[in-house]
Homo-oligomer: A and B are copies of this chain.
Amino acid sequence: MAASPHREMWEKLNLDIEAHDGLLEVLGKFYGDIYLSQEGRLGGMEYLDFVLSEVHGLRIREIQDARAAGKKVIGSFCVFVPEELTLAANAIQVGLCAGADAGKEEAEKLVPRNTCALIKSFIGFKLARICPYTESCDLIIGETTCDGKKKAYEAFGELVPMHVMEVPQQKNACDRTLWKSEILRYKDRLEALTGNTITAENLKKGIRIINDRRRALQRLNALRAAVPAPISGRDVLLINQVSFYDDPIRFTESIGKLCDQLEERIQKKEGIVPESTPRLMLSGCPMAVPNWKLPYIVEGSGAVVVGEESCIGTRNTRDLVDESGQTVEEMIDAICDRYMKIDCACFTPNTERLENIADMAKELKADGVIHYALMFCQPYAHEAFKVEKALREADIPMLSIETDYSMEDAEQLKTRVEAFVEMVS
């Protein structure tokens, strides 16, 4: 492996160079096997291939250049952190590494073994010093969406600068009041960190940029309803994953071009797979880069994934912020209302999610749904029972899977997925 041109930058970020080289090598091999091996991909996917190949390189360089010019960097692990405000304060928001086993043994000295892989991963990446995003952050925003993260942030907060937002657990008037005060607390924190004041003008712009990104992804999701499926599920997952890392304006433009190509393909009735390919939707926990395990297994089992009902998927793009607000107060209210619509399993009850899943499965003409819960993720593991019931009532078959980031169960998963694909065919 030739020395990377980014090595000096990584050293400055205090990465463990050797371990980080190892990570990139594995990531590259994985990407080649899972992504580049696909046939008939759209030209527009080259943008994604490039972004991913430089996700620890050029994008980090951009971020470092921005920091040198005075910008602040905010890290997050959750779609509840309102990026509209982050942009309004002229800061950059990025997702942090949480999708691969890294530093697991060390992480288990800080959090219980019965903690989901995503949480152990972000702690492990920090302890192993191999996430250039985590190391680039001026502030990391936690939230109280599950017990695992809520309590893990207490340990994580001893390693990084943190601010925790409280996400309410019901959707009554008092919950909206609490959430609004948490948004205002985040606004104060951002203004103090950046030295910039959030004004009606820059907040309006922030809302527009993030809404545009959501609209691009909504368009992509609508195009997937075409038969035959015009794009693989792996590729759309990658697009959703990249949306947390790349510059939002550049990302939106690139996805727009990709969607243009998709439309051409659909007009020609071309697909990435034959028309008869069983169409499956994934639903549940987020899949962070490079957690491509399940889509790879599903699409290697003769099916195509046509939807991701998850935070790295439609949960993050379904709802827009109302753009009619003119004052900061009105826009904060619109942001508050938009985020209160999120159908996260942290809410009780969370019946909207059941309706959204059934609607989405029908719109995407899915033949079945695979519910995906990370092992020890209690909120989504509980909801799996309710989703199965709701889908049964809608006559949509469901397979419930609980797994983590290891490849130990890959063969067993493949067997179960293949049987499910055969059943829905």
Q: Which residues of A contact B (CB under 8 A)?
A: 110-112, 114-115, 144, 146-148, 150-155, 164, 166, 168-170, 172-175, 177-178, 181-182, 185, 345-346, 348-349, 373, 375-376, 378-379, 381-386, 402
Contact = CB atoms under 8 A, between A and B. Distances in A.
Contact of A345 (B111, B151, B385): B151
Contact of A151 (B115, B153, B168, B379): B379
Nearest to A350: B154
A147 B385 contact: no
Nearest to A152: B382
Given A178-B178, A182-B174, A378-B378, A154 B112 contact: no
B147 A147 contact: yes
A155 B378 contact: no
Q: Which of A146, A170, A375, A378 has the most CB of B within 10 A?
A: A378
B114 A381 contact: yes
A169 B181 contact: no
Nearest to A145: B147
Contacts of A373: 112
Contact of A177 (B174, B349, B383): B174
Contacts of A378: 112, 114-115, 147-148, 151, 376, 378
Contacts of A172: 166, 181, 185
A349 B348 CA distance: 22
A152 B348 CA distance: 10
Contact of A348 (B111, B164, B381): B164
A146 B379 CA distance: 10
Contact of A168 (B110, B166, B346): B166
Contacts of A112: 373, 378, 381-382, 384-385, 402
Contact of A166 (B146, B169, B382, B386): B169
Contacts of A181: 172-174
Contacts of A152: 382
A174 B182 CA distance: 8
